[in-house]
Amino acid sequence: MTENSEPRPFEDVIVETPAPSDPRISPDGALVAWVAAPYGKEDEHPVSSIWLAPCDGSVIGRQFTIGDSHDTSPRWSPDGRSIAFLSDRAERGKTGLYLLPVSGGEARQLAQRKSSIQSFAWSPDGESIAFLCPDEPTDEDERREKERDDPEVYGERWPYARLHLFDVVSGDVRSLSAGDRHLFEIAWSPDSTRIAFLASPTPELESRKNAALLTLGLDEDSPTRICDTNRMASDLIWTSSGDQLAFLAGHAPTTSAQTAFAVDPSGGEPRVIGPDDQEAACVESMKPASGESRLVLAIAQGLSTRLEWVDPASGARETFYQPEEGDFGAGAFDVHARDGQVGRLAVIHSTDVQPPEVKVGVPGSLAPVSNHHSGLEGYEFGRQEPFSWTAPDGLELDGVLIHPSDGGNGPHPMIVHIHGGPYGRYTMGWNLHPRANWQQWLAMHGYAVFMPNFRGGMGHGNPFASSLYQNITDREYGDIMSGVDALIERGFADPGRLGIGGWSGGGLLTAWSVGHTDRFKAGIMGAGVSYWGAMAMDTDVYTVLNDYAGDAPWDGPGPYRSKKHSPISYARNVKTPLLILHGKADGRVPVNQATGFHRALLEIGATTEMVIYPREEHPILEANHQRDMFRRVRDWYKTWV
């Protein structure tokens, strides 16, 4: 923008802005690679590019791949001369495996199949790349589709993700046998002779709660089972010493916080090496560090995230990156170690008014190497501050307040923005995302925004996270409303100008709230659950949600505990004007949750509007839909609050 030009509408700029993710430091610690992708996709398929920068923070990074396709997952070769990555440049929507020298040139296709390659990992010796890809369609599959002779028999033609091996020297690809299991994480042994993997019984997301950890030698016909894992295992690592396997999972198979586990590669019971089940913290992610036998844990606690070393054998932990007070800390990260210390650290970093960018350096001295959000420099954002209060039962809670960007003293018109999950949380970082988070957008239009971290969420340990087992909605609602009361008492919020809204679990609690109080002048229910019984019929995670709601429709003729925790049971109480937003192809919270609640409100003559976005799944990804959602959110609150 020039000095005298009018800024473009913010909603048009933000959806086109690239956001950085997945930073990866080279083996020698000299360079960092990352992915940058616009928040919204303008066409059928998303686009993204890979960027590079020196790790000394001396210059802003440069674009490494063209960016007219979907380039993701940059992974350095062990010698640091090349980067392997996934891309759909050969056929949009189907990712293949590519290799590009750091010195430049054309990317070379290593493997392309009829199904998208999902993930991959270099062998430590650099001679092979293991990758996961679903079964190829057979001739019979293609005939069935072509002739429309294709009845779907449950379980009969599931596309299991299988393990394949690319030989870097010969270019040959061979498949390794792991049986009829669906593989979703892989990790190499340090001597490059075995591969560990997480596997579920079926490709259904729901079956990951029954996942197991196995290993397979490159010349073996069948894998060795190491141990079972708890719900939603991830971040599998084979330590550089070779004597431990590590992964993240819940403390329990049901609703629980996430922590880190380690197990002997020869088998045994996994041991907790992250926060135990009573520590008031959770593990967000875990990574190896080049040149170091210890692992790195991102520890979510309160409103920020710190980084810790953890010894996978002893469980000993040591903090090496602690954010400053009022700072978010580390988002996605990577670490390169030297002599047992951090040689280079790369993080996706943000603050209240500084959107996420890549920063590199050593703890305490990080420099930005990206400026993807430079187009937002002409806009004013709201100042954030931490906020704490006490729930009705005496539990201490925290959250974030955003002041209106135009300043001024309270009491302010205030929007309560509720996070999803419920195993989510708000932090002191950047709080705006076109997919579902409108906080700074609302602050730009004169609202204060309250973002409560109610029980059931991340960052306060296992008792806090697991407290919603078979009892969702009641406790969170009490937490949220006590926070609203505290803000009114402290003169921050105007009790006559309150709104509420959120996405996913936030949409659920919005629908619940407007059925239990008329204190809010407007509500926005985004992709929210309204009826647990119907939810269990269609969602891709039905048993997890039944853990929260208390039962399933097939448990007998009732009465059902889940009906008590369903917002639709209280729809006749709704007096608050409610905007309902939902993706038509949502597999997590099916669209019938929106249409059913909308019908209930029409039945009683309530003020409501429903907007369904074609083609969209649980997050809203298309740029025009994001623009539309921003404007509808603004206008709905403007009309009623």
Q: Note the helical H segments in 87-210.
A: 139-147
User: What pLDDT score was predicted for residue 1?
Assistant: 45
- CB under 8 Å to 154, separation ≥6 — which residues? none
Q: What angle do CA 147, 149, 152 make, to 5 degrees?
A: 140
Distance CA 311, CA 309 (A): 7
Average pLDDT over residues 98-118: 94
Per-residue confidence (pLDDT) for residue 5, from 0 to 100: 62
Q: What is the mean pLDDT of residues 100-126?
A: 95
Q: Which residues pair with 545 in a beta bridge?
A: none
Mean pLDDT of 542-569: 90
Give tens-digit pLDDT for 36-64. Answer: 999 999 999 999 999 999 999 999 999 99
* pLDDT tens sequence across 502-549: 999 999 999 999 999 999 999 999 999 999 999 999 999 887 777 898
Position 104 pLDDT exceeds 90: no
Q: Tell me whether strands 173-176 and 212-217 are parallel, antiparallel or unpaired.
A: unpaired
Looking at residue 409, what is its pLDDT?
Answer: 86
Q: How far apart are the first and last CA of the chain?
A: 32
DSSP line for 244-268: -EEEEEESSSSS--EEEEEE-TT--
- At 185 the pLDDT is 96
Per-residue pLDDT band for 2 (boundaries 50, 70, 90) equals very low
Could you report the per-residue pLDDT of 314-348, keeping only the tens digit for each? 999 999 999 877 676 678 999 999 888 899 999 99
Band the pLDDT of 3: cuts 50, 70, 90.
low
pLDDT attached to residue 547: 87
pLDDT at 497: 98
Average pLDDT over residues 453-471: 94
Token couple for 235? 């971040």
Residues 145-172 have a mean pLDDT of: 94
pLDDT at 290: 87
- Report the C-alpha gap between 436 and 620 in whole angstroms: 7
Superfamily of domain 380-640: Alpha/Beta hydrolase fold, catalytic domain (3.40.50.1820)
| Average pLDDT score over residue span 181-194 | 97
What gap in Å lies between CA 107 and CA 277, rounded to an integer? 47
Domains of the chain by residue range: 18-112, 380-640
Backbone angles phi, psi at 374, to 5 degrees: -60, -25
Can you give the pTM of this predicted structure? 0.95
How confident is the model over 424-455, as pLDDT tens digits? 999 999 999 998 899 999 999 999 999 999 99
**Section 117-126 average pLDDT:** 97
Residue with tokens 């659920």: 508
pLDDT at 403: 96
Indicate the DSSP class of residue 627. Answer: H
pLDDT of res. 464: 96
As given in the structure block, the two tokens for residue 429 are: 């970082």
Mean pLDDT of the chain: 94
pLDDT per position as a tens digit, 255-270: 889 999 999 999 999 9
